[in-house]
Amino acid sequence: MEDKKKVIFSGIQPSGNLTLGNYLGAIKNWVKLQDEYDCYFCVVDLHAITVMQKPADLRKRTLEILAIYIASGIIPEKNTLFIQSHVPAHSECSWLLTCNGYMGELSRMTQYKEKSKKSGESIGAGLFTYPLLMASDILLYQTDVVPVGADQVQHLELARDLAERFNKTYSPTFTIPEAYLSKTGAKIMDLQNPEKKMSKSEDNPNSYILIMDEPDIIRKKISRAVTDSIGEVKYSDEQPGVKNLMTILSNIKGYTFEEIENKYKGQGYAQFKNDVAEAIVEELTPVQERVKALLENKSELEEIYKKGAEKANYVANKTLRKMQKKIGFIPR
Ligand code: AMP
Ligand code: TRP
């Protein structure tokens, strides 16, 4: 018999437009993992409302992210692609875990500390309990591996702790998930402040490239990207801006850093920046075209997320029923 594939779960919040960082750091890696694993890729809309979202924007972005997943090469027939709010088990499980989580462990979460600072007086309670919802996402599918960025490792540790606690309090119920920090998946930095991660929540649009940015916008943003006065294309910590552009080029084209250094030796930055911009345009244009086509004909997209939700509901409910039974609820 064929070995059962390990399970992957990952998701992106529809709380902003996706950037080149999301694309190179997350989605492109998922594409590589889809053959080897049984993958659940989710658009986590329940997470997005931890901060206020305009309803029309939320609707638009949720579908756009799903379309981006598919346009980037995630094959719907091979994976489970779905929208988080279409699977009620996430919300239900989250309550059960809320009653198993501790105030102390939640208040230690770095992301909560940072985001709550920005919220002033009225901090949404969801911002505080959010890691429990994330743990639910992961644990409901008996997930083995969770591809995430370094900023999410703390949340994943919490999911592991909760799973172990539940397994010990009741009886073995959950697979203990592991973080997968991709070695090849680049961390893409802010184009204006290359000490910071490129983020969709940055105010200055020159800081990031969106997956859906028009070619001329991409060219403009790269030409404005902050570099330095050294004038040499070199992969060095002293040149974070250049280093970041090299990372982007290397990630898209597969060149090594040495190859890039040799190619632009003694040339300054103009041609280099130009080539980086063209590489991004070449990479994103076909993705954008497929996204637009998918969004034009919503019925195909609808069929995909409905099918995904059906499968996800089945698997998630199985785990949820087990939890409910062990906790002492009367089976329905
Ligand atoms: P976020 O946009 O922060 O919700 O992140 C969604 C996914 O994209 C996570 O897996 C992140 O690790 C990844 N990601 C976001 N920004 C970047 C970036 N600048 N470089 C690499 N990966 C990123
Ligand atoms: N919290 C993650 C982020 O902000 C998104 C997310 C929600 C997620 N649920 C998840 C990631 C489950 C991996 C697994 O990036």
Ordered by start, the domain boundaries in the chain are 7-186+298-327, 205-292
CA–CA dist 135, 47 (Å, integer): 12
pLDDT in tens, 259-298: 999 999 999 999 999 999 999 999 999 999 999 999 998 9
Q: At what angle do helices 270-296 and 240-253 cross, to 10 degrees?
A: 50
Q: Which two tokens stand for residue 93?
A: 């499980």
| Mutation probe of ligand 1 site: the residue of 9, 22, 199 with most atoms within 8 A of C-beta | 22
Q: Among 108, 123, 40, 106, which Cα is nearest to 74's?
A: 40
**Ligand 2 neighbourhood includes 158 CB (under 6 angstroms):** no
Q: 7-186+298-327: what fold?
A: Rossmann fold (3.40.50)
Q: CA–CA distance from 168 to each of 89, 104, 162, 178, 185 (Å)?
A: 22, 20, 10, 18, 35
**Ligand 1 neighbourhood includes 233 CB (under 6 angstroms):** no
> What is residue 232's three-state secondary structure?
coil
Does the domain made of 205-292 have the CATH classification 1.20.1090.10? no
**Ligand 2 neighbourhood includes 37 CB (under 6 angstroms):** no
| Topology alike, domains 7-186+298-327 and 205-292 | no
pLDDT in tens, 143-165: 999 998 888 999 999 999 999 99
8-state DSSP, 146: E
Active site residue 117: no
Full-prediction pTM beyond 0.85? Answer: yes
The pLDDT of residue 184 is: 58
β-bridge mates for residue 42, sequence order: 11, 82
Candidate list 32, 78, 115, 263, residue with the active-site label: 115
pLDDT in tens, 72-114: 999 999 999 999 999 999 999 999 999 999 999 999 999 888 8
